[in-house]
Amino acid sequence: MQDVIIIGAGPVGLYLAKRLEKRLRVLVIEEDKNIGKPVHCSGLVSKNLFRFVKQDRAWIEHEVNGALIHAPNGKKLRLKKRNVYVINRAGFDKHLANQISSRIMKNTRAKRISIKDTVKVETNKGVYESRILVGCDGSNSMVARHFNAKPRETMNGIIAITRERNHDDFVELWFDKRVTDGVLWKIPRGRKTEYGGMGNNLKFNALKEFFGLKDFEKRAGRIPMGPPKTYFNHCLLVGDAAAQIKPWSGGGLVYGLTCADIAAENITKAFKRNDFSESFLKRYEQEWKKRIGGRIKAGMLARGMLKRMNNAQISLALSSANRVRFLMNKLDMDYLVK
Ligand SMILES: Cc1cc2nc3c(=O)[nH]c(=O)nc-3n(C[C@H](O)[C@H](O)[C@H](O)COP(=O)(O)OP(=O)(O)OC[C@H]3O[C@@H](n4cnc5c(N)ncnc54)[C@H](O)[C@@H]3O)c2cc1C
């Protein structure tokens, strides 16, 4: 019997295992054969990432210091954001996996869970038991489904990687309702260029046409937004499984790791008190909401507005934003209070 089973060896599950394994027996279950693959993430992060994982040139592809935003009417808004990094997600995930000593069972798919005084996880390789289960199993979380915990919305995230070398110092963003109800982007990756976008029903054909793309490598994933309930008897949801994502950008790495820290503290307390009840584990959700809940709520409001606006209204909103860009330049990409 394990103390904790974590389903999902993505960055959030691996980081959580590292936080817990000093005091508890941890088993990580991962359905894929290789850690970090397939990649379905741009890996654009602020320097806040290095609060959790020491910066390492091995998985940093490029650094940018701003964003150029294109309004539907062709006007441009330039924002300064220093120290934003484009990381290689496969390399980052492998780096995290190399730092933990807990057992990671790859090629193992969690199929069903049952919870009484302990948790039983049925997989294609047998049944495993623990006191606590953590669902770090991403946007299509089977753990979240077990509790019928659904995010408010889930968008398509699609990426086309081309072989164009690109050492620009800024990312580019486009808003255009004719193409997507979300956003399109171009990210310089040093030896490559990434074209991507998110939105309901956004497809590769639309991306291809908008950017005039020919040869590219495809990557895609789902982006959940608007977190559901994240604590249950003997169980927590963390990361994309909990939709702990910034609704304005689809970025989830820094928020997932922030919540993994809070989960680790509360799981450790639950073992000290021998209390794995929903009423005790509720403090996990109260604490993560205190840290990032306000930003997520504001992001969901902005997302709702963007969905209702037409191109003329978006252009007007961006030209108003241009007038207060000195304030926007000062905003931290992730947190309200650092
Ligand atoms: C197109 C796109 C671009 C993005 N760009 C950015 C970005 O630039 N910056 C940023 O911060 N975030 C970005 N994100 C979001 C980011 O990828 C996620 O927030 C991050 O991967 C969340 O990590 P996680 O560990 O919670 O989930 P995941 O990385 O999804 O890991 C979940 C793991 O669980 C495993 N799993 C799932 N189900 C099971 C099961 N039943 N049994 C066993 N294992 C299972 C999966 O194989 C996977 O390894 C992007 C997302 C998309 C789709």
Q: Is 221 in the pocket of ligand 1 (CB under 6 A)?
A: yes
Q: Does 53 score more than 90 pLDDT? A: yes
CA-to-CA distance for 179 and 176, rounded, in angstroms? 6
Please tell me the distance between residue 94's alpha carbon and the centre of ligand 1 in angstroms. Answer: 14
Q: What's the pLDDT at 322?
A: 86
Whole-angstrom Cα distance, residue 133 to residue 61? 34
Instruction: Specify the pLDDT at position 101.
Output: 93
Q: Grade residue 120 by pLDDT with cuts at 50, 70 and 90.
A: very high
State the pLDDT confidence band at 337, using cuts at 50, 70 and 90: low
Taking alpha carbons only, the member of 141, 183, 161 closest to residue 43 is 161
Written as six digits, the tokens of 304 are: 């709702």
What are the sequence ranges of the domains in the chain?
2-330
pLDDT tens-digit readout, 296-321? 999 999 999 999 999 999 999 999 98
Q: Could you tell me the distance, in angstroms and rounded to a whole number, from the CA of residue 42 to the centre of ligand 1? A: 11
Kindly report the protein residue whose alpha carbon is nearest to atom 27 of ligand 1.
138
Can you say how many angstroms the Cα of residue 143 is from the centroid of all Cα atoms in its chain?
Answer: 17
Q: Has residue 331 got a pLDDT over 90? A: no
User: Residues with Cβ < 8 Å from 19, sequence gap 6 or more?
Assistant: 260, 261, 264
What integer pLDDT is reported at residue 190 of this predicted model? 94
| Mean per-residue pLDDT over the chain, rounded | 95
Residue 269 has pLDDT above 70, yes or no: yes
What lies within 8 Å, CB to CB, of 249 at 6+ separation is 44, 183
Average pLDDT, stretch 245-272?
Answer: 96
Point out the ligand 1 atom lying closest to the alpha carbon of residue 8: 34
pLDDT confidence tier of residue 338, bands split at 50, 70 and 90: low
Q: Which CATH topology does 2-330 take?
A: FAD/NAD(P)-binding domain (3.50.50)
Please tell me the distance from the alpha carbon of residue 229 to that of residue 236, in angstroms, as a whole number.
Answer: 9
> What mean pLDDT comes out for the span 98-112?
96
Say what percent of the chain tops pLDDT 90: 93
Residue 148 above 70 pLDDT? yes
- Specify the pLDDT at position 326: 83
**Burial degree of 22 (CB within 10 A; 0-12, 13-18, 19+):** exposed
